[in-house]
């Protein structure tokens, strides 16, 4: 009886692996829209990936789930709201995810501060982050940050700086494959790179990514979506 149970569990395990979700089919037009956004900005990704010697598709894969989620109409509404509340009072009062990569202003603020604490000065000067050092931003600085975070080229710069911070944070991690590495980086992007590696690995196994602006019954795994795009 025990042997039969082990065989059944083994078969079930194989079946589960073979039934990995096809996200292209699951998201349909939204997946196609995300691919189109990638293609439209191919030259931009290519230029910055080459400039900073990062795998271009790895960068795309980190934010690919956000491209699926991106909605230009909602984005315009949220940017208008941010122009009033964030610029006047800061991210504690209004902290929407905006732009193609769905970045929050609090994420941008933290990236700026952490970059200047941990990354090489020559790199910061090259990418233009060497002047972003203020933990208590003025209204003018918040306005400039909002302008950056709603521009896809500047968002790409934030993504590259995020990648460089992760390279330091995870430098002692052993990854068997690039896809395994990507899953951790993607989880860090989605859940908060400042969290401990233990917490991030736990989040990596959770389906907590909603593609709509309102929470629905169906939730997906952010890291798995990134990995699916990367491998296909």
Higher pLDDT pick, 134 / 188: 188
Tell me which DSSP letter residue 212 carries: S
Residue 187, pLDDT above cutoff 60: yes
pLDDT digits (tens, 9 = 90+) for 82-91: 676 677 766 6
pLDDT greater than 80 at residue 135: no
Residue entry with tokens 């951790």: 184
209 beta partners: 220
Write down the domain spans for the chain: 21-231
pLDDT grade, residue 139 (50/70/90)?
confident
> 174-185 pLDDT, tens per residue?
999 999 999 999
Q: How far apart are CA 46 and CA 137, in angstroms?
A: 32
**What pLDDT was estimated at residue 74?**
62
**Residues whose CB is less than 8 angstroms from the CB of residue 111 and which lie 6 or more positions away in sequence, other chains included:** 158, 161, 162, 165
């Amino acid at each position: 009886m025990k042997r039969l149970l082990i065989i059944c569990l083994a078969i079930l395990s194989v079946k589960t692996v073979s039934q990995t979700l096809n996200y292209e089919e699951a998201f349909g037009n939204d997946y196609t829209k995300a691919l189109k956004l990638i293609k439209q900005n191919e030259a931009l990704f290519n230029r910055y990936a080459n400039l900073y010697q990062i795998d271009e598709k790895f960068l795309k894969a980190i934010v690919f789930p956000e491209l699926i989620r991106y909605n230009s109409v909602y984005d315009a509404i949220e940017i208008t709201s941010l122009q009033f509340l964030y610029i006047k009072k800061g991210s504690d009062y209004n902290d929407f995810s905006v732009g193609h990569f769905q970045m929050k202003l609090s994420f941008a603020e933290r990236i700026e501060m952490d970059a200047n604490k941990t990354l090489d000065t020559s790199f910061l000067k090259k990418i233009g982050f060497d002047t972003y050092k203020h933990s208590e931003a003025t209204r003018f600085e918040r306005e400039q940050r909002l302008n950056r975070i709603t521009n896809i080229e500047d968002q790409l710069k934030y993504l590259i700086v995020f990648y460089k911070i992760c390279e330091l944070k995870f430098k002692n991690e052993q990854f068997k494959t690039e896809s395994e590495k990507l899953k951790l980086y993607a989880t860090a992007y989605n859940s908060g790179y400042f969290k401990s590696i233990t917490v991030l690995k736990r989040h990596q196994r959770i389906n907590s990514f909603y593609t709509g602006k309102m929470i629905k019954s169906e939730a997906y795994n952010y890291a798995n979506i990134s990995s699916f795009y990367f491998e296909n």
